[in-house]
Structure 1
Amino acid sequence: MLRLALIALTLMATGAGADPTFWKPEWPQTNFAKRNIESWAEILSGGPPKDGIQAIDAPTFRKAVGETRIDGPEPVITVEIAGTPPRAYPVRYLMWHEIVNDTVAGVPIAVTFCPLCNSGIVFDRRTAHGTLSFGVSGKLRNSDMVMYDRETHSWWQQAQGLAIVGDLTGTQLTALPAWMESWDQFRARAPGGLVMEPPQQGPQYGRNPYARYDSASRPFLYSGDPPPHGIPALARVVRVGARAWPLTRLREAREIREAEVTLSWEAGQASALDTTRIGEGRDVGTVRVRDSSGRDVPHDVMFAFAYHAFWPDGQWMLSE
């Protein structure tokens, strides 16, 4: 947390902020004449430059039964597409790379994770404008990662899958059914599954650079309104569309059936944003969301402040 505080103070002191004139040398191919945000001041530098956090392209995989480097409680993002074995994308790698561009059973996908919002979403990379590939811009809006596509250099809000600046402004990516579960849960449920290999050699994998972040009182570089109903800013909520269920409510109930979906909670997954070693984080459990036919539904387990920032008129599912 001290690291984040020092970065924030430095950025504020140097005025590293929002100005297309300032950004243009780094982003000569971005069309800043098109945007769907009210003010450029909403976008801040997160510290790293464009591609300072390197997205992963064409990852390699190994059989899950042969992987011994990942601690059992560590979270992985699971993708299951018919015609291919389930794939696990460990958060220990996404913590440092944030985006994985992959193709599964012929479907081009982007596996994304924003540590500052705890937002982990998988998108279909196909759009009406063609198939895109994504990188990390180094910018934040409401403390959430701003992605960019390499084809038009438009900027995209990760939490929403929405283009907010550039030629593709207003284009919406399709979120795919995916979920976070523990490595132990993935291996037990899908023994024939695959797991992503480390993108590169580095002792940082498995370490959380944002120690105790999800116990903080304030998010990093966020100046928006706090969540309503007295919900802490960094409390987890389960977002399905524009609705959000507090994780505390689901954890107590274990299963909730509302709004034509069934949410379930199971213990065993460590928080990636608690202790310095990810696998030792406190148990936040695994969430699944299914429809009336038992099919998995796209959702996100994110921090309450981010949900409120991007869905200010969303519905808080506080009780039956």
Structure 2
Amino acid sequence: MRRAALALSLCLAGVLAAPAGAQAPAGWAADWPATDFGTRSVELSEIRSGGVPRDGIPAIDDPVFLPAAQETRIGDAEPVLTLALPGAVPRAYPIRYLTWHEIVNDTVAGRPVAITFCPLCNSALAFDRTVGGRVLSFGVTGNLRNSDLVMYDRETESWWQQATGEAIVGEMTGTALAGIPVWMESWASFRAAYPDGLVMAEPGARRAYGQNPYVGYDSAARPFLYAGEDPPHGIAPLERVVRVGDRAWPLARLAEAGEIAEAGVTISWAAGKASALDSGTIAEGRDVGQIRVRDGQGRDVVHDVMFAFAFHAFWPEGVWMLGR
């Protein structure tokens, strides 16, 4: 009965059972001996190497923080990801570090959280690391799907899609991480809002922190390692959109309007934040502005500012909020 119930639940979750003889690509079984490739919600052929091995991009565990007033490395316009949980001092996670590490496993006010950033999709999201009473920790597989970071949890070695927060391969397939509201803003904006806030200190790894390894990426005609469709409505693949659920607002529309209230949310735009994917030095990136998304009660809403191609890839039936 328990096996039948499990099979039914996996079917309802859209999990694919591997046909007899189906195998993961050569090398995966050796590198991922604990991953159940026979349980998955996507075809393995959709996943491709990003050019680095497992943990070749090292996630950060137990990050160190310092008072915002003591930080001198970060330029005023540089983007940081802000987390302001109730009962906790607000924290800034600089994109200059997330660009090189992509995942930070942190605990804030006793709550285990994962701070994530995929440069190729410009997707920055935070998740609760507790699933069914079990605390997970995450690392980087080195693989991509639709150019988006594929994470893994160290406890079951299941693979997770960063853009959606869903497990797509392995024991946890069909499980979704709970999102936590975070927003990307300039370092100057964070300091002004939270003068007593904390900022993640520079990690000890040898990386070119503050430099952008993807120079000119957000002005490119095509995404890196992406073979999917272009977005509809003539929207450029690497145009930024604000995603809330399965809706996307073009950032250009928000920049022109300043503020838009639609579909139960209010999205505001302000100048002053540099693109992390433009100039070779992040602090010198062109101004792409920053947004904040709140509900009718003024509470921050889980959202993402991602590239249009990624929204279309993961939400092909999503709603484009074009204002016309």
Q: Tell me which amino acid in the other structure corresponds to 2:198.
A: L
Superposed displacement of residue 201, structure 1? 5.1
SS of 1:71's partner is: coil
Structure 2 stretches of 5 or more lacking a match?
A: 1-22
> How much does 1:311 deviate?
0.3
Paired position in structure 2 for 1:261: 265
The aligned residue for residue 292 of structure 2 is 288
Contact 2:100 2:207 (8 Å CA) reproduced:
no
| Local SS of the residue matching 1:307 | helix
Counterpart contact for 2:24–2:37, Cα < 8 Å: no
Query: 1:153, 1:201 → 2: CA distance?
Result: 24
Q: Which residue of 1 aligns with 2:11?
A: none
Question: Which of 57, 61, 64 is 1:60 aligned to?
Answer: 64
Quote the residue 1:211 is aligned against. 215
Verify the 8 A CA contact 2:165 2:177 in the aligned structure 1.
yes
Aligned pair partner of 1:297 in 268, 277, 301: 301
Equivalent residue runs for 1:1-320 within 5 Å: 19-37=24-42, 39-128=43-132, 130-200=134-204, 202=206, 204-319=208-323
Alpha-carbon offset, residue 20 of structure 1 = 3.7
Identity within the alignment, %: 64
| In structure 2, C-alpha distance between the alignment counterparts of 1:116 and 1:200, rounded to whole Å | 24
Name structure 1 gaps, 5 residues minimum: 1-17
CA contact (8 A) 1:271 1:278 kept: yes
- 1:4 aligned partner: none
Following TM superposition, by how much is the alpha carbon of 1:129 offset from its aligned partner in structure 2, in angstroms?
5.8
How well do the aligned residues superpose, as a CA RMSD in angstroms?
Answer: 1.1
- SS of 2:163's partner is coil
Q: CA deviation at 1:202?
A: 3.6
Q: TM-score, normalised by structure 2?
A: 0.92
Secondary structure of the equivalent of 2:27? helix
Aligned pair count reads 302
Secondary structure of the corresponding residue to residue 151 of structure 2? strand
Distance, in Å, in 2 between the alignment partners of 1:274 and 1:214 is: 6
Please give the alpha-carbon distance, in whole angstroms, between the structure 2 residues aligned to 1:156 and 1:252.
35
Q: Which aligned runs of 4 or more in structure 1 are off by greater than 6 angstroms?
A: none
Q: CA deviation at 1:41?
A: 1.4
Once residues 22 and 315 of structure 1 are traced to their aligned partners in structure 2, the CA distance between those partners, rounded to angstroms, is 39
Name the SS for the 2:31 alignment partner.
Answer: coil
Contact 1:20 / 1:32 at 8 angstroms: preserved in 2? no
Deviations 1:17-56 (A, max 9, x none): x94443100000000010001x221000001100000000
